[in-house]
Amino acid sequence: MACGKRQSGKSVSITNLFRMFKQDKTQPYRVLLVSATANSNYVLMNDLDVDEDDIFDPNDPQTPYLLEAICNSERDDLIRYYKEMEQRDLLIKRIKHVKWDNDEDLDDEILMWYNPETGKFRMPEHKYNGKKVAIIVLVDDAQNSSLFSNKKLLNITIKNRHLGAFSREVQENRYTKHLGSSMGLFLYMCVQNYSCQQGGIPKAIRGNISQFILFKTASEKELENIKLEIAGEIDGDLFDRVYKYATAEKHNFLFIDMDKKQHHPSKYRRNFDEFILEENQTE
């Protein structure tokens, strides 16, 4: 989640994060954008490489259901690809041992996979060449919409990593067991207010934050709420110093990684690339 006032740099920070993700050419990504202002923000759409069919209205009560349906559709297409791969491999094995006069059904199977122009058996086709796509959902400019009161959004936020679950059969099959237990959705939200009476982020969503981007805020009350829910194991005074250091310059932000990797020296960073060591933040 990225929290900051209007024009603080929330969308830019998230776009830069996605750009870093895409530097890994081995991992395909698909970005689903939930925003009421998407069509007027060409730069954001272009930077994120968002397809027009992957833009959703935050005021449409069906939007969370459509997001989950896309996750399930990507899962089903990936399973279809590996099932076809298994069928193709079995066919090639059968051909080596077939007696053509008593296996008429084999002719139809060969026609499905054999390409007479190349003289080879074709490979099954898949948009991502058999790789599990990372589905990223970006919610932007939606805080005053009906989206955050939609119970289905709360449901997919809580279950995000477990959505698009693979069956036990798929998890145990030697062709598909490397895919893990589910497709999952990765949710990122850009908001102007962390919590408020009108259009605030529900506590069920705030409680599932794994990465938090905080820009400078003039609201002491909002900062106190963030310290209570996000700061974690460090005391309030130390958090204040970390926050002030990270946000001292315009458009800079405090990045908090709630799922810090063991080899990372701190869960706190200024922007994405500078770790903030707590012991260095003295009075």
Nearest-angstrom CA–CA distance, 107 and 204? 57
Q: What is the pLDDT of residue 102?
A: 53
Whether residue 98 lies inside any domain: the answer is yes
Say how far residue 255 (Cα) sits from the centre of its chain. Answer: 17
Q: What is the pLDDT of residue 63?
A: 96
Same domain, 80 and 218: no
Domain termination residue (choose one: 192, 226, 258): 192
Output the tens digit of pLDDT for each of the chain's 283 residues: 898 888 888 888 888 888 888 888 789 999 999 998 877 666 667 777 888 899 999 999 999 999 999 999 999 999 999 999 998 888 878 777 665 555 556 556 666 777 778 877 788 999 999 999 999 999 987 878 889 889 999 999 999 999 999 999 999 999 999 999 999 999 999 888 887 655 568 888 888 888 899 999 888 888 888 888 876 666 778 888 899 999 999 889 999 988 888 888 888 999 998 998 865 555 5
Nearest-angstrom CA–CA distance, 84 and 239? 54
Same domain, 221 and 260: yes
Domain termination residue (choose one: 126, 161, 192): 192
Same domain, 137 and 264: no
Whether residue 4 lies inside any domain: the answer is no
Q: What is the pLDDT of residue 188?
A: 92
Same domain, 181 and 230: no
Whether residue 5 lies inside any domain: the answer is no
Domain that holds residue 265: 210-283
**Number of separate domains in the chain:** 2
Q: What is the pLDDT of residue 197?
A: 57
Q: What proportions of the chain, in percent to the nearest 5, are helix, strand and coil? A: 45, 15, 40
Q: Name the 3-class secondary structure at 98.
A: coil
Whether residue 256 lies inside any domain: the answer is yes
Whether residue 235 lies inside any domain: the answer is yes
Q: Are 215 and 258 in contact (CB under 8 A)?
A: no
Whether residue 3 lies inside any domain: the answer is no
Same domain, 144 and 187: yes
Domain termination residue (choose one: 192, 224, 258): 192
Same domain, 260 and 183: no
Same domain, 184 and 51: yes
Same domain, 172 and 279: no
Same domain, 112 and 174: yes
Same domain, 134 and 64: yes
Same domain, 129 and 35: yes
Whether residue 215 lies inside any domain: the answer is yes
Whether residue 116 lies inside any domain: the answer is yes
Nearest-angstrom CA–CA distance, 34 and 76? 23
